[in-house]
Amino acid sequence: MSNEDLRKHSSLVVDGIEAAPGRAMLRAVGFKSEDFQKPQIGIASTWAMLTPCNMHIDRLAREAEQGANEAGGKAVIFNTITVSDGIANGTEGMKYSLVSREIIADSIEAVAGCEGFDGIVAIGGCDKNMPGCIIGMARLNRPAIFVYGGTIRPGEGHTDIISVFEAVGQHARGELNAIQVAQIEEVAIPGPGSCGGMYTANTMASAIEALGMSLPGSSAQDAISAAKSSDCHRAGAAVLELLRRDIKPRDIMTKRAFENAIRVVIALAGSTNAVLHLIAMAHAVDVDISLDDFVRLGDITPVLADLRPSGRYMMSELVAIGGIQPLMKRMLDAGMLHGDCLTVTGRTLAENLADVADYPATQDIIRPFSQPVKKDSHLVILRGNLASEGAVAKITGKEGLQFSGTARVYDSEELALSGILEGEVRAGDVVVIRFEGPRGGPGMREMLSPTSAIMGKGLGKEVALITDGRFSGGSHGFVVGHITPEAFEGGLLALVENGDRIHIDAESRRIELLVDDAVLNQRRARWQRPAPRYRRGALAKYAATAASASFGGVTDKFD
């Protein structure tokens, strides 16, 4: 293709006499006359000093810029937002977390669409950055590559951010004093990078690589490493090749590619948020991915990774033995992945994996198929009278496969956390946290503080927690989230009362409120929808437009 063919979007902005004002603006930001004849590549950077996940991404954006320029393009760096779940968790501010995914997607779409970029490289760190970047690029459907900012290294004593959250519960239990908590706090986050276990950031990075939207190896690199700098440089160059070959996100993000991503997430024991985000990403390219796909693929995909939060190892330790490429090669050879799916290399997944070496024989992070952590998926889709439209449980088997208990009901995360720390929650309870769904919260907060407090209090195997909110990738224990219909929409969760019996069965995939229909009908007759918590601003807009968790919590589902 000629440069003219590659410039079908930017040429509308910079070509001709009538575009002279625009060219004048661009000259002020560094364009030379020859740059107007080059394809323009937008570099979407999520850099901010808000969080260690993103604090280094400005340098990575410069690497991508250089790679694109050297390959014959003219790169333009622009920023989108990030928020920090690790800082906001347990506060009202966490309601903006999922909302930020939509803001990121909207901003990338708006900037790239307005400025006429011919291709896009997006670099994300914290977990909402990643699906937000993919959704924004997918809507535009211009040649695009996602780059993961990379994982953090472990803190002293093999600690990480979840160690700090659980230390709060251990303090409440009397196992740690304030000085000991402070000692963990001071060493757990040693520098740049996303949270270090198979939490949501590393889960989504792995899913996006398996989907084919990142270069091979991008998901398993330390944030501060030569490999990560090279990954960004190569991505800048690779998007020019995608332009030349006219390969777009819709060519890559097919149903079969999403099936690959789902199966890799399961094998890695990834975050429940992957369910929400993969459904949302598929919606952006009109691919039908639903909870039923997670059930179907979960039945035939084992959990193979012994990674935190439920396992022992951190992502940096998986990086050291080869990352996820050898795992995908094993899965491909076993017939678990679709090798014919196109990727951003311009080659198929099978071609990318052809020369990948296996893991060292001595490693025990990734189990063999003959000795899985769990023979089928840890992401269990539940249905029943409490979740007629579905719910998502994260059950590795270490927590048991069934739980029956007595409801302990809280109408917000703050009330639940207080009740857990003050000793209201006891063995045999099912903690119910409601009015935290996409519309009711609004924003579907992560219940990391309550789940960490339960673990820290030593109740991880004796208490279940269910919610119409969601969970951090760092949450573990017997937990069920994404309950739909949510309480705010009149789902049965809104009618649960203290002392009701609840039964959860991961084997039959049922979640049931064991209360007579006549009693529930009486409660239904008395129930009134609570007033919206926000009437202006981003949270009010999200509450008004958000689809249910079973449809990814997206804000542009109008069919």
> Encoding tokens for residue 545?
């437009």
Collapsed DSSP state (helix, strand, coil) of residue 382:
strand
List 472, 475, 548, 550, catalytic entry: 472
Dist CA 1 CA 3 (whole Å) = 7
Paired with 313 in beta bridges are 307
Residues 6+ apart with CB under 8 A from 21: none
- Furthest-apart CA atoms within the chain: distance in Å: 77
Q: State the DSSP H helix or E strand holding residue 276, giving kind and residue range, or none if neither.
A: helix 273-284
User: What residue type is assigned to position 417 of the chain?
Assistant: L
Buried b or exposed e, range 517-528, using 16+ CB within 10 angstroms = eeebeeeeeeee
Phi/psi class of residue 221: alpha, beta or left (left: φ > 0; alpha: ψ in -120 to 50)?
beta
Torsion angle of C-alpha atoms 65, 70, 72, 73, degrees rounded to 10: 10
SS3 helix, strand, coil % of the chain, rounded to 5?
Answer: 45, 15, 40
Residues 6+ apart with CB under 8 A from 221: 148, 150, 151, 227, 228, 231, 319, 323
Cβ atoms of 147 and 174 closer than 8 Å: no
Collapsed DSSP state (helix, strand, coil) of residue 473:
coil
Dist CA 75 CA 144 (whole Å) = 13
| Cα-to-chain-centroid distance, residue 193 | 15
Residue by residue, what is the 3-state secondary structure of 200-260? HHHHHHHHHHHHCCCCCCCCCCECCCHHHHHHHHHHHHHHHHHHHHCCCHHHHCCHHHHHH
Beta 74-79 vs 501-505: how paired, if at all? unpaired
Residues 6+ apart with CB under 8 A from 459: 425, 426, 427
> Encoding tokens for residue 248?
């777009």
Dist CA 488 CA 437 (whole Å) = 7
- Catalytic: 548? no
Paired with 121 in beta bridges are 43, 145
Paired with 387 in beta bridges are 384
Cβ atoms of 516 and 389 closer than 8 Å: no
Buried b or exposed e, range 430-456, using 16+ CB within 10 angstroms = bbbbbbbbbbbbbbbbbbbbbbbbbbb
Active-site residue list: 472
